[in-house]
């Protein structure tokens, strides 16, 4: 295994220790402290908890809506160019790649009183999604020779990425025996950003009148936003020290909130819901934006015959191409600016209904003398949605939970989403003394060969829970 392969394999293995942004396994599972980040209105039954710094939640996830690593890089003796062309043929402008990393640096919480549980923490997150600019890539790879009249759409350029630190504090509040609500306030510190969306413009080719073809670059409006990535010469220049420092305290500040609830319709039927990251980051520092706006048409180079020159044999000494270039630049100018801009966080929606049944166990709440009924089995359905530059992505999950003992729980999920219609996940949560740990594995059928997986997601964490 050579060095490059090792790095790639390491990254992919590391990606095993991560969780998808759709935390369908984690959501509402076993009343773990970590569930508070996916639903601030989740119920808790402990006095306080402390996450092991850096290990209570560590994730790296890569997903692709269509392509897999095996599509290109499987050592199958098939010509690589053939595989590349086959993949290009499958991809459309709606296909995307995304990745998300989250490192919980600090995570803790304590019970304020019998109704309120306060949790707080600090995590660093990198989130990126990029869509496939189908027209542009195919035009560059194949050229326009076999499809000269095809229109190329610049609106297909869409991507968005953020690297930020999030300082958060939230409250889970028990309204009454049936209803628990919660909210979380987040302070975002933006370190790196790149995005381009809502672009427009087309290149079209028609039969010309003055020449054989006429090409129109129509209503081009391209905007590329970045912070912390480019220098004044538009070269990539990332200062590592400054980047890391900006995770904790930068001038690119934003705020956001999470809200959620848990409602017991009956002791056996439970509804939960949450909306996360309703917020934004205002980027004001280290900005380097590029805009390209205009229209232009090209129908070749016209060589003009100067009728005032009676010496008809003299070639016209004129640099037409330089004129052409200058005309194009004037019609479609490229400008850079350092204007501040606002980037909205991708909002996540969770909703679930759960039916519990089987052997009931009455467990005393840790904060008063009341008892809560816990059932050994649960089934339910979860819905998840996340707002993205092109459209909202949704996923639906069926789940089965089993409480094997008071301190050992398991969860089985089936999820349908943009990545797969055969995503089976398994999770376990166990507590030994005050030491709690959990492990969640998504897409288990592809775990033996990640190269063929469109997404991979495994999560585990360690906490100390004090009942």
Partner 1 sequence: MKSIRKNPIFLLFVCLFSSCIQNLDFNQVEDLTAEPVFKSSLVYFTLNQITFFDRINSLEIVTPISKNSKFLSLNSSFVRNNLVKVQLDFEINNQFDRDFNVTFQFLDDNDAITHSFQTFNIGANNLKYLHSEEIMVANNQLFLSSTKIKVLVQLAPSTSGSVIDPNIEKNLVFKTAGTFFLKT
Assess 75 for contact with partner 1 (CB under 8 A).
yes
Q: What is the distance between the alpha carbons of residues 127 and 163, in angstroms, rounded to a whole number?
A: 6
Segment 165 to 224, residues that bind partner 1, using CB under 8 A:
205, 208, 210-215
Assess 235 for contact with partner 1 (CB under 8 A).
no
Assess 298 for contact with partner 1 (CB under 8 A).
yes
Among 143, 198, 377, 422, binds partner 1 (CB under 8 A): 143
Tokens 């229209």, residue? Answer: 295
Assess 134 for contact with partner 1 (CB under 8 A).
no
Nearer CB in complex with partner 1: 230/458? 458
Phi, psi angle pair for 385, to nearest 5°: -145, 150
Measuring CA to CA, which residue among 394, 443, 397 is closest to residue 422?
443
Assess 308 for contact with partner 1 (CB under 8 A).
no
| Residue range at the interface with partner 1 (CB under 8 A); choices 190-198, 239-247, 303-311, 376-384 | 303-311
Q: What is the distance between the alpha carbons of residues 168 and 183, in angstroms, rounded to a whole number?
A: 10
Assess 319 for contact with partner 1 (CB under 8 A).
yes
* Cα within 13 Å of Cα(76), Cβ side: 14
Nearer CB in complex with partner 1: 26/166? 26
Those residues whose C-beta lies under 8 Å from the C-beta of residue 339, and which sit 6 or more positions away, are: 287, 289
Nearer CB in complex with partner 1: 69/381? 69
Those residues whose C-beta lies under 8 Å from the C-beta of residue 460, and which sit 6 or more positions away, are: 17, 437, 438, 439, 440
- In DSSP notation, 370-394 reads -EEEEEEEEEEEEEEEEE-SSSEEE
Count of residues that bind partner 1 according to CB under 8 A? 66
Task: At 235, list the tokens.
Answer: 């070269």
Assess 151 for contact with partner 1 (CB under 8 A).
no
Measuring CA to CA, which residue among 296, 135, 295 is closest to residue 221?
295
CB of 426 vs partner 1, minimal distance in Å = 9
Task: At 452, list the tokens.
Answer: 């063929």
Measuring CA to CA, which residue among 25, 42, 37, 467 is closest to residue 264?
42
Measuring CA to CA, which residue among 429, 451, 431 is closest to residue 440?
429
Collapsing DSSP to helix, strand or coil, 244 comes out as helix
CB of 306 vs partner 1, minimal distance in Å = 11
Segment 394 to 433, residues that bind partner 1, using CB under 8 A:
428, 430, 432-433
CB of 434 vs partner 1, minimal distance in Å = 11
Measuring CA to CA, which residue among 134, 116, 150, 10 is closest to residue 65?
134
Assess 89 for contact with partner 1 (CB under 8 A).
no
Class of residue 221 by CB neighbours under 10 A (exposed 0-12, middle 13-18, buried 19+) = middle
Nearer CB in complex with partner 1: 34/215? 215
Assess 137 for contact with partner 1 (CB under 8 A).
no
Assess 59 for contact with partner 1 (CB under 8 A).
no
CB of 197 vs partner 1, minimal distance in Å = 28
CB of 130 vs partner 1, minimal distance in Å = 19
Assess 357 for contact with partner 1 (CB under 8 A).
no
CB of 429 vs partner 1, minimal distance in Å = 9
Assess 16 for contact with partner 1 (CB under 8 A).
yes
Alpha-carbon distances, residue 242 vs 225, 229, 231, 253 (angstroms): 19, 11, 13, 15
Q: What is the distance between the alpha carbons of residues 103 and 344, in angstroms, rounded to a whole number?
A: 21
CB of 93 vs partner 1, minimal distance in Å = 20
- The answer to whether residues 223 and 198 touch, using CB atoms and an 8 Å cutoff, is yes
Give one word for 55, left, alpha or beta, with left for phi > 0 and alpha for psi -120 to 50. Answer: alpha
CB atoms within 10 A of CB 397: 21
Among 3, 236, 321, 421, binds partner 1 (CB under 8 A): 321
Nearer CB in complex with partner 1: 353/410? 410
| Residue range at the interface with partner 1 (CB under 8 A); choices 8-16, 113-121, 222-230, 380-388 | 8-16
Assess 311 for contact with partner 1 (CB under 8 A).
no
Assess 466 for contact with partner 1 (CB under 8 A).
no
Assess 123 for contact with partner 1 (CB under 8 A).
no
| Residue range at the interface with partner 1 (CB under 8 A); choices 23-31, 119-127, 295-303, 345-353 | 295-303
Segment 432 to 451, residues that bind partner 1, using CB under 8 A:
432-433, 437-439, 441, 447-451
Phi, psi angle pair for 117, to nearest 5°: -120, 125
Q: Which stretches of the chain bind partner 1, using CB under 8 A?
A: 4-5, 8-9, 12-13, 16-17, 69-70, 72-75, 79-81, 84, 140-146, 148, 205, 208, 210-215, 298-305, 307, 310, 312-313, 315-316, 319-321, 428, 430, 432-433, 437-439, 441, 447-451, 458, 460
């Amino acid at each position: 295994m050579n060095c490059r392969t090792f790095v790639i394999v390491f990254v992919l293995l590391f990606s095993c220790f991560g969780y998808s942004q759709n935390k369908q396994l984690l959501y509402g599972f076993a009343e773990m402290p970590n569930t508070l980040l996916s639903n601030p209105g989740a119920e808790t039954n402990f006095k306080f908890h402390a996450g092991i710094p850096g290990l209570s939640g560590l994730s790296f996830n890569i997903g692709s809506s269509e392509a897999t690593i095996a599509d290109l890089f499987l050592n199958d003796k098939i010509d690589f160019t053939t595989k590349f062309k086959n993949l290009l043929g499958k991809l459309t402008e709606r296909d995307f790649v995304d990745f998300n990393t989250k490192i919980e640096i600090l995570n803790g919480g304590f019970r304020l009183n019998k109704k309120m549980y306060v949790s707080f923490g600090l995590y660093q997150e990198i989130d990126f999604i990029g869509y496939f600019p189908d027209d542009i890539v195919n035009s560059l790879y194949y050229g326009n020779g076999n499809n000269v009249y095809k229109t190329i759409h610049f609106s297909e350029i869409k991507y968005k990425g953020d690297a930020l630190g999030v300082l958060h504090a939230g409250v889970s509040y028990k309204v009454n025996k049936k209803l628990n609500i919660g909210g979380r306030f987040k302070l975002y510190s933006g370190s790196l950003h790149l995005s381009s969306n809502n672009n427009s413009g087309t290149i079209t080719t028609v039969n010309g009148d003055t020449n054989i073809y006429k090409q129109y670059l129509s209503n081009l409006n391209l905007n590329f936003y970045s912070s912390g990535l480019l220098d004044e010469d538009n070269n990539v220049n990332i200062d590592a020290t400054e980047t890391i420092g900006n995770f904790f305290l930068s001038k690119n500040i934003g705020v956001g909130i999470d809200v959620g609830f848990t409602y017991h319709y009956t002791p056996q039927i439970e509804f939960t819901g949450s909306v996360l990251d309703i917020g934004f980051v205002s980027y004001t520092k280290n900005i380097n934006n590029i805009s390209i706006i205009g229209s232009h048409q090209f129908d070749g180079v016209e060589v003009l015959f100067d009728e005032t020159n009676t010496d008809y044999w003299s070639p016209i000494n004129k640099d037409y191409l330089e004129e052409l270039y200058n005309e194009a630049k004037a019609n479609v100018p490229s400008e850079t600016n350092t204007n501040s801009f606002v980037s909205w966080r991708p909002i996540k929606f969770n909703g679930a209904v759960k039916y519990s049944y089987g052997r009931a166990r009455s467990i005393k709440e840790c904060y008063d003398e009341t008892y809560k009924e816990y059932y050994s089995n649960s089934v339910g359905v979860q819905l998840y949605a996340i707002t993205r530059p092109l459209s909202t992505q949704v996923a639906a999950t069926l789940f089965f939970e089993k409480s094997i003992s008071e301190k050992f729980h398991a969860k089985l999920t089936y999820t349908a989403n943009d990545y797969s219609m055969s995503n089976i996940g398994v999770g376990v949560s166990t507590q030994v003394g005050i030491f709690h740990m959990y492990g969640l594995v998504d897409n288990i059928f592809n775990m033996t060969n990640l190269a063929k997986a469109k997404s991979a997601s495994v999560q585990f964490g360690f906490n100390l829970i004090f009942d």
